[in-house]
Amino acid sequence: MEQAINNHLITEAFICSNNVASEKDIIEIALKEYIVRRKAKSIRDLKNHIHFDDEYDYKSMRK
């Protein structure tokens, strides 16, 4: 059984958007933003899991 999209959310999205013409455009924008945020979240999960070599001299590579 397919569920309908919440009309209140679509209306809110139209209010928040600039010059978006259709529900399809709203949904596409929302999905793109959702994906970007999910990917950013997974990057934040790496915090404190990456350890750098204290002896690495990044300035020596600049020449």
Residues 6+ apart with CB under 8 A from 35: none
pTM of the model: 0.59
Spatial CA neighbour of 23 closest among 34, 31, 36: 31
Centre a 10 Å sphere on the Cβ of residue 26 and count the other Cβ atoms it contains.
20
8-59 tens-digit pLDDT? 999 999 999 888 989 999 999 999 999 998 888 777 777 777 777 888 888 8
